[in-house]
Structure 1
Amino acid sequence: MNMTGTCMEKESVSLYQTKGSTDKEYHCHLDPVDGGWVVYGRNGRRGSALTHQAKTATPLPYAEAKGIYDTLVRTKLKGGYSPDDAGVPYQGTDLESDFTGVLPQLLKPIADEHAARLLRDDDWVMQEKDDGHRRMVSVKAPGELVGSKRNGFPAPLPLGVVADLSALPAGTILDGEALPGPRLSIFDILELGGRRLHELGFEERHALLTTTVKSGANVSVSPVYKGTASKTEAFERIRQKRGEGVVFRKKDATYAHGRPASGGDALKHVFYETGTFVVDRVAKDKRSVHVVVFDAAGAKVDMGKVTISSNVDIPPVGALVDVRYLYAHPDGKLHISTYKGIRDDLDISACSAAQLKYKADDALEEGEGDDEESDAAAG
């Protein structure tokens, strides 16, 4: 295996990722073909048949292909892959020292019919899905808190949030969502004073959370709705106010970081879709940007313009941004789009065309899009 390579040399690297029930491998290749150079990846579950992913449509000059190869490797490392076959995120890379090791549980999305069944199922409870950025909080000592993003890298915490949580004992880990204000909405607790709570059921964990954290000006505890009547009333109220969606959890659901291969005891239902896009260009003399995603071959797919409201900065070209929309058109347009903000906790692999949600009669044919698993739409 050659990770650094020398001038005009064939290169390859094997990377691994183990998170929760996920155990994946990704192999990056830079090979000479027909007088030029091509870049491709092969990925899949460890030990299974791997999927080929071309990153260059045709052979390119070495320097151009090498740049694509290096970007691919960096993207996978930043996304949690490791050259160490143990698959521990960032182990053996220069990112290891920054990685907090605190990773959230990610949720599988469900359709309307599934959500309707869970509203009637008393074994499942419901919370509102806050429209913000995932934020884990680790208490190192009373008043000494470390925030982390969904990818496990550090994130600053507002002073008001730190003040509201300053009395928590060391060894406490909270799971929540960073919201405008700035505020923090907390919906789960994973450790309390050094005691691991992962194996407790969600209802029991949430009861501990409500007695441990008191809502204040900067921090709130997300309420839980139980029973068909309470869940249905909250579901309709959240939808009417154009909230992002809801989260269903089994009462006895344990907590495991990462996303399950299928199903799971924690599921999300969104009323509006949220996607991650790259700013391709800024409209001249207008508060709007053109955004793109990338298809399976790595080609840009133009998704049209998104308006930027006057109270926020216009994101620069190349920035990764979240956009909320009702559905996507196959001809490249987002219907009823709303700019949500820059994502500095994701990488370019999140901007896949496969994440887009189309109207039922406009959906992609089966097999189209990127085959690689993506956490872009995670909660």
Structure 2
Amino acid sequence: MVDRYDRVKLTNPDKVLYPATGTTKAEVFEYYVDVAQAMLPHIAGRAVTRKRWPNGVEESSFFEKQLASSAPDWLDRGTIKHKSGTTTYPLIDTVEGLAWIAQQAALEVHVPQWRFVDGDPGPATRIVFDLDPGDGVTFRQLCEVAHEVRGLITDIGLTTFPLTSGSKGLHLYVPLEEPISSRGASVLAKRVAQQLEQIMPKRVTATMTKSLREGKVFLDWSQNNGNKTTIAPYSLRGREHPTVAAPRTWDEIEDPDLRHLTFDEVLDRLERDGDLLAALDPPLPATDKLTRYRSMRDRTKTPEPVPAEPPETGANDKFVIQEHHARRLHYDFRLERDGVLVSWAVPKNLPDSPSENHLAVHTEDHPMDYIDFAGEIPKGEYGGGEVYIWDTGTYETEKFHDNPPDGPAKGGEVIVTLHGEKVEGRYALIQTDGKNWLAHRMKDQPKPTAGDLAPMLSTEGSVQKLKKSQWAFEGKWDGYRVLVEADHGRLTVRSRRGRDVTGEYPQFEAVAADLADHHVVLDGEAVALDESGVPSFGEMQNRARSTRVEFWAFDILFLDGRSLTKAKYTDRRKLLEALAEGGGLIVPDPLDGDGPEALELARSKRWEGVVAKKRDSTYQPGRRSSAWIKDKIWNTQEVVIGGWRQGEGGRTSGIGALLLGVPDGDGLQFVGRVGTGFTDKALASLKKTLEPLHTDESPFATELPKQDAKGVTYVRPELVGEVRYSERTSDGRLRQASWRGLRDDKTPDEVRWEG
């Protein structure tokens, strides 16, 4: 349910305004917000009269023309002078304004056919006919008269747009190519009505006398009078049901089953057909972040840049401080953000020390061209006085939670590190009350490197019951976990244990080059791909010769001066994907669906498994956390090599099988042998690696069974490998074990049972 739109907060959302249908104030509020894009061009610049039903359509209502003194300051206003005084009306030309209308329980919006021009009522821009059925007149007869009106209007070279009024009759709107006076519009409409009355005297009357309307359609032309209003297109009606003054097609006007439409039907039609009245009134000027800035300046009187074009997003890294000799000397602090300069007026400039805080008043966004502006703003113009550039440079963002200066939102906070000619360091801007913020000089923080951090570790578990609403799912790949630091083109790669392995991954230099504009620390997997593009642990063993070694990033720990370890996973992921948009950095897509679907997708891709990550989890360096759960499709186990047996047959000159163990509190426990999964080259390399580790003593905690001890050469338990297996037997043996390779990134004291 929508309960706010910008500065308008909805109150009493559950109050029923249409008892017959149970339609609540919240639904009315949402309707006016949703219909605004279509409705606003037809009411903008026109004096709005509201008809309000504070307690619903079954209770009393009242018209309201005069805008109350309690109305919000941000509403545009238009004033009409009468002999007896003046009336100030609201001018509704924004979604926020329509939301305010709904909050007032002003179900009906009435407007004249003229707009304000330079603060005064202007000429009529359109003509309206209200077809009001007298007693005994059917809707079908009403529609036939509407077609006759259309014919007469077409004969004078104009276009007619039909609406079902939402009450009893039809409205016909005629846009004028050239505006004319309201009196002229009334005369023209009256002539059309009288002409039709002459053509169809038994079916049409142009006279207001009610006694003459029975059995006829009253073609009301009088609403073109400058003092009168008509229900606005797309306005709700205060009837038993929430019907709407709804635009229709002429084909619909011929439909014998034509009826009035409710608000939900109108929204459905808008989504399908768009605004059928789009040609009736010109579209509103597009609003952007500089709309308020432009409205406060006359480009013919000020040398300030006043661009007509909407802003374009840049690098979000420039700042300027301008010395402004206005009515009172102050300094304007401006930060580039999404194509504009977000601005604060700081009377005493930014503080030099963390021990002091300075007031900073949030002002309107300025155009990017203002970053180079220096000159004199004429007296009498907004901000009149001399402007000088005091300092300029670049900045890095740590946090940017900005709130508009005229909005109700609280809790704004901006933390940046400035690199200027005069100003250097970390600064925080903290919202205290509305447009008033506090400028604070922060203590500088040392920049972390990959060497200062350790990877966050996952917990073994099942993803079968995990839902995508709370968990994100990523692939688990056969590779080596690494942290990659790219510091403006300089690369550092560290293993899971913190060892500098940069030299082992020359392929990653391209990653650092592609991220040369940033200082970033990434977490991910070094993978070697097989011929089909699947990460292969076997290929990883020969990565020095592999042509397809890649870094697959799945997390980001630090970016341009800001530690991200306290940020939520979803926010870190957005930043990571934004970095990857520039090309070069590989960030595999998350897996769709809930846990079971993610696991099945990983299986189809021949990945090792799935890692589920809580969407709201922070990054916990060096900790094994239940916020990350890994679910392996294949059973794998890290093992310590305790010996080997001579090969038979074709392997008589080398290793036939390795004896494996997993340490526990009582020592190295024997878990079986592995004799498959090797290549001849791998066996020869293994034998060479194991020879210096030869020992006469068994490293295992218990005596081996005779069939396993036969012909064994024991080695010191210093090497870690990994095997794949089908299941673990009741006595702790691995069935159908297959060798996957050495894990030179692990040490024996890290090995534990994984399942």
TM category, shorter: 0.5 to 0.7
Aligned CA distance change for structure 1 residues 336 and 179 (closer, same or farther; 3 Å):
farther
> Is 1:248 aligned to 2:612, yes or no?
yes
Q: Match for residue 520 of structure 2?
A: 172
Task: Report if aligned partners of 1:324, 1:339 keep a CA contact under 8 Å in 2.
Answer: yes
Q: Match for residue 337 of structure 1?
A: 737
Q: Match for residue 451 of structure 2?
A: 100
1:305-316 → structure 2 map (5 Å cutoff): 305-310=674-679, 313-314=682-683, 315=686, 316=689
Aligned CA distance change for structure 1 residues 338 and 124 (closer, same or farther; 3 Å):
same
Equivalent residue of 1:208, what SS? helix
Task: Report if aligned partners of 1:202, 1:253 keep a CA contact under 8 Å in 2.
Answer: yes
Q: Match for residue 591 of structure 2?
A: 225
> Is 1:279 aligned to 2:630, yes or no?
no
Distance in structure 2 (CA, Å) of the matches to 1:340 and 1:274? 9
What do the CA deviations read for 1:217-249 (whole angstroms, capped 9, x no partner)?
Answer: 8x6212113544xx6444212124542111111
2:496 partner amino acid: R
Distance in structure 2 (CA, Å) of the matches to 1:191 and 1:236? 33
Given the alignment, which residue of 325, 331, 334 partners 2:725? 325
Q: Match for residue 266 of structure 1?
A: 628
Task: Report if aligned partners of 2:673, 2:737 keep a CA contact under 8 Å in 1.
Answer: no
| Structure with larger RCO (C-alpha < 8 A, sep 6+) | 1
What do the CA deviations read for 1:257-284 (whole angstroms, capped 9, x no partner)?
Answer: 1234xx6322211122322212223332
2:464 partner amino acid: A
> Is 1:147 aligned to 2:522, yes or no?
no
1:354-369 → structure 2 map (5 Å cutoff): 355=753, 357=755
Task: Report if aligned partners of 2:634, 2:725 keep a CA contact under 8 Å in 1.
Answer: yes
What do the CA deviations read for 1:97-141 (whole angstroms, capped 9, x no partner)?
Answer: xx9222000011113xxx2221x3412111111121111101234
1:269 partner amino acid: D
Query: More deviation in 282-291 or 189-198?
Result: 282-291
Distance in structure 1 (CA, Å) of the matches to 2:678 and 2:628? 34
Equivalent residue of 2:638, what SS? strand
Equivalent residues, number: 247
Distance in structure 2 (CA, Å) of the matches to 1:141 and 1:278? 40
Unaligned ranges ≥5, structure 2: 1-449, 529-547, 691-717
1:347 partner amino acid: T
Task: Report if aligned partners of 1:186, 1:220 keep a CA contact under 8 Å in 2.
Answer: yes
Aligned CA distance change for structure 1 residues 215 and 276 (closer, same or farther; 3 Å):
farther
Distance in structure 2 (CA, Å) of the matches to 1:176 and 1:320? 22
Distance in structure 2 (CA, Å) of the matches to 1:333 and 1:216? 47
Aligned CA distance change for structure 1 residues 117 and 308 (closer, same or farther; 3 Å):
closer
TM-score normalised to structure 2 length = 0.31
Task: Report if aligned partners of 1:161, 1:184 keep a CA contact under 8 Å in 2.
Answer: yes
Given the alignment, which residue of 482, 486, 489 partners 1:135? 482
> Is 1:193 aligned to 2:555, yes or no?
no
Distance in structure 1 (CA, Å) of the matches to 2:681 and 2:474? 29
Given the alignment, which residue of 195, 198, 206 partners 2:573? 206
Task: Report if aligned partners of 1:288, 1:308 keep a CA contact under 8 Å in 2.
Answer: no
Task: Report if aligned partners of 1:138, 1:147 keep a CA contact under 8 Å in 2.
Answer: yes
Aligned CA distance change for structure 1 residues 188 and 311 (closer, same or farther; 3 Å):
farther
Deviation for aligned residue 1:293? 2.3
What do the CA deviations read for 1:20-52 (whole angstroms, capped 9, x no partner)?
Answer: xxxxxxxxxxxxxxxxxxxxxxxxxxxxxxxxx
Aligned CA distance change for structure 1 residues 200 and 323 (closer, same or farther; 3 Å):
same
1:323 partner amino acid: V
What do the CA deviations read for 1:156-203 (whole angstroms, capped 9, x no partner)?
Answer: 352222113313145310000111131211111111122211222212
Deviation for aligned residue 1:150? 1.1
Distance in structure 1 (CA, Å) of the matches to 2:605 and 2:675? 22
Task: Report if aligned partners of 2:661, 2:668 keep a CA contact under 8 Å in 1.
Answer: no
Distance in structure 2 (CA, Å) of the matches to 1:282 and 1:343? 17
Task: Report if aligned partners of 1:174, 1:186 keep a CA contact under 8 Å in 2.
Answer: yes
Equivalent residue of 1:100, what SS? helix
Distance in structure 2 (CA, Å) of the matches to 1:241 and 1:167? 28
Distance in structure 2 (CA, Å) of the matches to 1:312 and 1:191? 41
Distance in structure 1 (CA, Å) of the matches to 2:661 and 2:460? 23
2:519 partner amino acid: G
Aligned CA distance change for structure 1 residues 232 and 312 (closer, same or farther; 3 Å):
farther
Deviation for aligned residue 1:325? 2.2
Equivalent residue of 2:591, what SS? coil
Task: Report if aligned partners of 2:485, 2:492 keep a CA contact under 8 Å in 1.
Answer: yes
Equivalent residue of 1:324, what SS? strand
Distance in structure 2 (CA, Å) of the matches to 1:211 and 1:127? 17
Aligned CA distance change for structure 1 residues 237 and 343 (closer, same or farther; 3 Å):
same
1:80-119 → structure 2 map (5 Å cutoff): 100-111=451-462, 115-118=463-466
Q: Match for residue 237 of structure 1?
A: 601
Deviation for aligned residue 1:340? 2.4
Distance in structure 1 (CA, Å) of the matches to 2:458 and 2:661? 25
Task: Report if aligned partners of 2:721, 2:741 keep a CA contact under 8 Å in 1.
Answer: yes
Task: Report if aligned partners of 1:128, 1:246 keep a CA contact under 8 Å in 2.
Answer: yes
Looking at CA atoms only, which structure, 1 or 2, has the larger radius of gyration?
2
Distance in structure 2 (CA, Å) of the matches to 1:100 and 1:282? 37
Task: Report if aligned partners of 1:125, 1:251 keep a CA contact under 8 Å in 2.
Answer: yes
Task: Report if aligned partners of 2:453, 2:622 keep a CA contact under 8 Å in 1.
Answer: no
Unaligned ranges ≥5, structure 1: 1-98, 358-379
